[in-house]
Amino acid sequence: MPTTGFLGTRADVLIDLALVVFVAAPFLMTYALRLAARRRYRQHRNLQVSLIAGAIAAVVLLEASIRYGPAAAAFQQSAYYGTSLVRGLFLVHLAVAIPCFVVWCTLVVMSWRRFRGILPGSFSPTHRRWGWVTYVALWLTCITGVALYVLSFAL
């Protein structure tokens, strides 16, 4: 099967695009946290909304390629296809990624509704606590996702 993606693996372009988004996300979130620390709350909010929109788009691309594109066939060519290593890593990835996504979406929606010109407000301690939980979970999601990509499409 010829390489159709741009990262030089068996993955197609949709999987490669999703990977780039998921790798960039924790770095961009680091920048978003710095914006909040500098009290640039509107820019922090706008970047977070853009990040979650990008993550949703990346998940849609990933799922489309797996279900309707060539990703499943490309994964079957992996030396790790069907191994307990990939299954275990996939379960860990899902155990982190799904709660991360739910908490992140909830935090974005709740924060958008409570955003006022005068900050910090009464919701700020909760926002900060769950924001850090999301930040750590996003890094873990990125790391496990990259490991899955390598095992599935590069090796």
Amino acid letter, residue 49: V
Torsion, Cα 41 44 49 54, to 10 degrees, reads 170
Helix, strand, coil % in the chain, rounded to nearest 5: 80, 0, 20
Amino acid letter, residue 146: V
Domain positions in the chain are: 13-154
- Give the span between the Cα atoms of 46 and 65, in whole angstroms: 29
* Residue bearing tokens 């990835």: 93
The full length of the chain comes to 155
Interval 26-37 mean pLDDT: 97
Q: Model pTM? A: 0.91
Are 16 and 6 in contact by the 8 Å Cβ rule? The answer is yes
pLDDT, mean over the chain: 93
Q: What is the pLDDT of residues 61-89, one digit of tens each?
A: 999 999 998 999 999 999 999 999 999 99
> What is residue 124's predicted lDDT score, i.e. its pLDDT?
85
> What is residue 117's predicted lDDT score, i.e. its pLDDT?
67
Whether 118 shows a pLDDT value over 80: the answer reads no
Reported as a pLDDT band with limits 50, 70 and 90, residue 32 is very high
Ranges 33-47, 90-104, 107-121: which has the least confidence:
107-121
